[in-house]
């Protein structure tokens, strides 16, 4: 059964800058620890990726999968779902919601729902989800703020 988790982080950059980093999938291995490769396999007419193939190695979790992406017109929401079950996942649905903050930065809310193909005890699963989401948001923040430093 899939569980949904949500976390948010403040990033000292504009929503457009955050969206640009999120949408630059092929560069994920440069800043995402577990990501070994990311390849855009299909694009929409506007150039945004519609399908991206990922290979991850997070120690106990090694997987290869393809996600289908959809975007809000203003790129304030980027969402995805697993195209087909993988070795480790039955389903994966997620989203980034990017909202401007009063200080010129923004808040990014990350929601993830995964149904694993392998069994995992509830308490270990929740701890793993929290660690994965914490790392993903902190690495995103680090990447965005290093590319777009504020004066």
Give per-residue pLDDT as tens, 116-134.
Answer: 777 665 556 566 677 778 8
Give per-residue pLDDT as tens, 11-65.
Answer: 999 999 999 999 999 999 999 998 999 999 999 999 999 999 999 987 777 899 9
Asked whether residue 101 carries a pLDDT value surpassing 90, the answer given is yes
Q: State residue 81's pLDDT score.
A: 98
pTM of the model: 0.91
Mean of per-residue pLDDT scores for the chain: 90
Show the 3-state SS of 64-128: EEEEEEEECCCCCEEEEEECCCCCCEEEEEEEEEEEECCCCCEEEEEEEEEEECCCCCHHHHHHH
| Average pLDDT rounded to a whole number, residues 83-90 | 92
Asked whether residue 3 carries a pLDDT value surpassing 90, the answer given is no
| Average pLDDT rounded to a whole number, residues 80-103 | 94
Q: State residue 126's pLDDT score.
A: 65
């Amino acid at each position: 059964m899939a569980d949904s988790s949500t976390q948010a982080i403040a990033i000292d950059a504009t929503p457009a800058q955050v969206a640009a980093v999120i949408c630059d999938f092929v560069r994920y291995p440069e800043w995402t620890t577990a990501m070994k490769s990311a390849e855009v396999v299909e694009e929409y007419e506007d150039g945004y990726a519609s399908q991206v193939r990922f290979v991850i190695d997070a120690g106990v979790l090694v997987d290869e999968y393809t996600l289908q992406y959809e975007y809000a017109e203003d790129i304030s929401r980027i969402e995805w779902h697993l195209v087909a079950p993988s070795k480790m996942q039955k389903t994966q649905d997620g989203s980034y919601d990017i909202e401007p903050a009063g200080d010129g930065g923004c808040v990014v809310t990350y929601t993830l729902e995964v149904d694993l193909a392998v069994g995992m005890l509830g308490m270990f699963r929740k701890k793993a989800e929290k660690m994965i989401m914490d790392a993903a948001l902190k690495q995103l923040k680090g990447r965005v703020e290093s590319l777009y430093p504020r004066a």
